[in-house]
Amino acid sequence: MSGLTEQDIAGAVLRLPALPNIVLELIHALDDKDVDTHTLAQKISYDQTLTAKVLRLANSSFYGMQSKIGSIPHAITVLGFNSVRSLVLAAAVVDTFADHASGDLDHAHFWKHAIGTALCAKAIAAHRSANQDQSFIAGLLHNIGRLVLATCSPLRYRDVLQRCAQHDEDLLAAETHVFGIDHKAAGKAVLEYWKFPATIIGTLVSGQVASPAQGDAAAIAAVADAIAYALDLSGGQYDRVPSIPAPDWDRLALNEAALQEIFATTETQFEEACAILGATGKA
């Protein structure tokens, strides 16, 4: 079975649903220190569905605010623009792909795991004094390449899932066997297409030598991914806990007390976040 070419991956990326323009603007502003938050807040507010989800998240246990947040500008004032942007990206990405069919890949379970990973990554970042908002985004998109592979060839992705089930094989290894690449490489292609900054794209490559900041970000995403699987948050039939590269685990140096707090925070916020983002699905 021949592997995927760059043209195959590019074609699959183009067949994915298009993100809303406001989301693309927010992505392109991730590295912009002089971003016009007032204009972007107005544009977010024009999308009533997106605004409603963002405000529900802002008023949920996710932040534990004492007073009600009633508008996007108010949310930016209280939470900060970066936090609101991460909530908008989460709400829009999950909503955009909600009805996107790609073979045997269960989208409800996929997004439940993605949300669990995002929440866990944010909790780990808090312990590391790292960027919680970027960690949340990186966790949410850490496995986005699975959608690309499943879009490329639903039949091949069915083979991937069957290999995982029948041989108890690691997902990345099964994907490489069937497609010639894994979902990390495919994910890099889609994040580059959406013009995410290198700080986010770099989180797909873990266990390798990197700058302290980028290395932490990649390690957080990899460890959060494994923890979300270990907690069985999505309940997916083919879920397997991936191995964590030793350099990533050693870099974060999370002790037992920190891990217990991360587990508790993730599990406490998970169901509410899935309900608000529309990723509940059927168990």
Q: Which tokens is 55 given?
A: 């405000």
Residue 107 pLDDT > 70: yes
Is-contact 227 270, C-beta < 8 A? no
Please say whether the dihedral angle defined by the alpha carbons of residues 274, 278, 279 and 283, taken in this order, is positive or negative: positive
| pLDDT confidence band for 159 (50 / 70 / 90) | very high
Residue 282 pLDDT > 50: no
| pLDDT confidence band for 212 (50 / 70 / 90) | low
Please give the single-letter amino acid code of residue 283: A
User: What's the pLDDT at 257?
Assistant: 96
Q: Which string of b and e fits 20-47 if b means at least 16 CB within 10 Å?
A: bebbebbbebbeeeebebeebbebbeeb
User: What's the pLDDT at 211?
Assistant: 53
C-alpha 122/C-alpha 272 separation (Å) is 16
Angle between helices 81-96 and 72-79 (to 10 degrees): 130
User: What's the pLDDT at 206?
Assistant: 60
C-alpha 13/C-alpha 191 separation (Å) is 10
Alpha helices in the chain (DSSP H): 6-15, 21-28, 37-46, 48-58, 72-79, 81-96, 107-128, 132-141, 145-152, 154-167, 171-179, 183-193, 198-201, 212-230, 246-252, 256-277
Residues 19-37 have pLDDT tens digits of: 999 999 999 888 887 888 8
Q: Which tokens is 162 given?
A: 């069957």
Please say whether the dihedral angle defined by the alpha carbons of residues 3, 5, 8 and 13, taken in this order, is positive or negative: positive
Domains with residue ranges and CATH for the chain: 1-17+102-283 (1.10.3210.10), 18-96 (no CATH)
User: What's the pLDDT at 103?
Assistant: 62
Residue 2 pLDDT > 90: no
Q: Which tokens is 37 given?
A: 């938050």
User: What's the pLDDT at 184?
Assistant: 92
This prediction has a pTM of 0.90
